[in-house]
Each structure stands twice: as structure tokens, then as C-alpha cells.
Homo-oligomer: A and B are copies of this chain.
Amino acid sequence: MSPAAKSKLDERRLCLHQVTVLQQWSTQQFIDGMQRHGIGAVALWRDKLREVGAAEVARMLKGTGLAVTSLCAAGLITTPDPQETVAAIDELKRAIDDTAAVGAGSLMFVAGGIDPRDKNLESTRKRVLDRLAGLTHYARAAGIKIALEPLHPMTCGLRSVLNSTKTANDWCDVLRADDVFGIAIDTYAVWWDHDLERELMRAGKRIINFHVDDWLSDTQDLRLDRGMMGDGLIDIPGIRSMVEAAGYDSYVEVEIFSQRNWWKRDADEVIRIVKERFQTAV
């Protein structure tokens, strides 16, 4: 897609992350829904994929013409225990295989949180980076890109010790394999960052996924209380401008984890509102 789509957002750039209607629809219903609503691209949620298996999801997708931007998520490789490490790496390889099986462009990588057995962040981050480096050949052979996704600093305890675009860039510098490792930017995770504009420019073509969602002023949960674009405090158009100035011109993916609101609403209504907000608040 051309960068000319910058000011008015081309609706063909809309990608819906399955997690946005996680509680309402099975994967088959989700795929059918996308076609009914004329949405051409999706991101898939791996826990949902595992209910039926990657081969079955690949069969569901066949002939639909749907682009699959990514499979989300795998990683969680912060453990300091050697045996647990072997299991975690195996699981990550299976996720790479699943990504290839459903024809997704990238695998969303979530580092894992700090482990109570080693509270040192520097050594934890080093472990993750070493393990990622060890996966380079496996991912390359599978033809899969691994998208390093910084998560919000409030997830450092539970989900990810990768908490900024700067760290993602630093890791990419060390990994020296831009054909395999890219960066996923999510407005929810990065909006507070004092270094955001500079680090997005530094990332440039490393940015391979762009997620939008909003920060609610009365946020009630660290993970499952994200807002619809326009309902919160993030300058989403401002961040989109920065991401596009850095060279990104592909899909804009809507990813809303919302236990108290959107997961309780009729899925067709959610999608109708997503499409509206895509024009007015992204």
C-alpha cells in the first residue's frame, strides 16, 4: 500500500485481531464474520488456534482470500531453570511451525515477565536475547518473521521484560538478522514513552506490525481492560503519523482485550464500531 494513504486512512488497511471478539466467536465464526463485514486481514490468537489445531485453521482460511498478518502470541522464555528453558524453546518452535502452517506473516513474540527466582532485569533480558538469537535459523528456515513486541512497563512482572521500542531496537542491533526479527508497535504499550518518536525513526523498516487500541482513564485491569480507539487518552493519529514517517505503510491492526465491555457486546456491533472508529480516531 502506498504512503499516500496517510491522511485519510484507507479502509483496506484495517486488520482485525481475533482477540477483539475473543469471547463471542469461534475461529470459524470469526473468519465468516470477516468476510461478511468485508475485512480483508486478520491476526489470529494462538490459544484459540490450539483448540482446533493449525491445520484445521489453515483449512478454514483456504479460499477466503483473508491475509493473516500474524499469529499472536508466543515466547515467555524468561525462566532461569534449564529444564523449563528446553520446554519453553520447544513450545516457541511449535508456535513458529503454527505460524507457517496458517500462512501468517509474523509470530508475535512476548518475552515473558520477571521470574521470582531471578529478579535481576539485566540478566533476565540477556537470557531472552540469547535464546532469541538461538532461534534465528529455525525461524529463517520456516520463512517466519518474529515480531518483537514491546509490552507496557506494567507487564514487566507478568508478561514481558521487553518494555520499550528502544530495547526492541537494541535487541535487533545485537541479533543482526533483520530478515528474521522485526518490531511490533502497539499504541497501548508505547504511548507514554519519552523516546518514542526517535526510536520509531530508528526502527524504520523493522516495524512489521502496528496495533491500535486506547488507554482508558479509569483502567481497571493490567491486561484485559483496553479501550476502543477514541474512548481513551492516546493520541492514536499522532502515533500513526510517527509510525508512517518511519516507513510503515501496511495494515493497521485493531487489538482490544476488554473483559468489562467489548467482549460482552454483540460481535457484529463491535466490528461496526471498529470500522467507524478506524475512520474517526485512528
Contacts and interface: CB of A to CB of B under 8 A. Distances in A.
B163 A119 contact: no
A29 interface: no
Contacts of A157: 215-217, 219, 232-233
A163 B232 CA distance: 19
Interface of A: 113-114, 116, 119-121, 125, 152-154, 156-158, 161, 163-164, 166-167, 170, 191-195, 215-217, 219, 222, 232-235, 238
B191 A121 contact: yes
A65 B104 CA distance: 67
Contacts of A232: 157
Contact of A156 (B125, B166, B167, B192): B192
Contacts of A120: 235, 238
Given A232-B157, A233-B119, A192 B217 contact: no
Nearest to A154: B154
A238 B121 CA distance: 10
Contacts of A166: 194-195
Top 5 nearest A-B pairs (CB, nearest first) are A156-B192, A119-B235, A154-B154, A153-B192, A153-B153
Contacts of A152: 153-154
B167 A194 contact: yes
7 contacts: A114-B233, A116-B233, A121-B191, A154-B222, A156-B233, A157-B219, A167-B194
Contacts of A164: 194
Contact of A119 (B113, B161, B234): B234
Given A114-B233, A153-B153, 4 more contacts: A120-B238, A121-B192, A121-B235, A152-B153
B233 A194 contact: no
A148 to B, nearest CB: 13
B154 A153 contact: yes
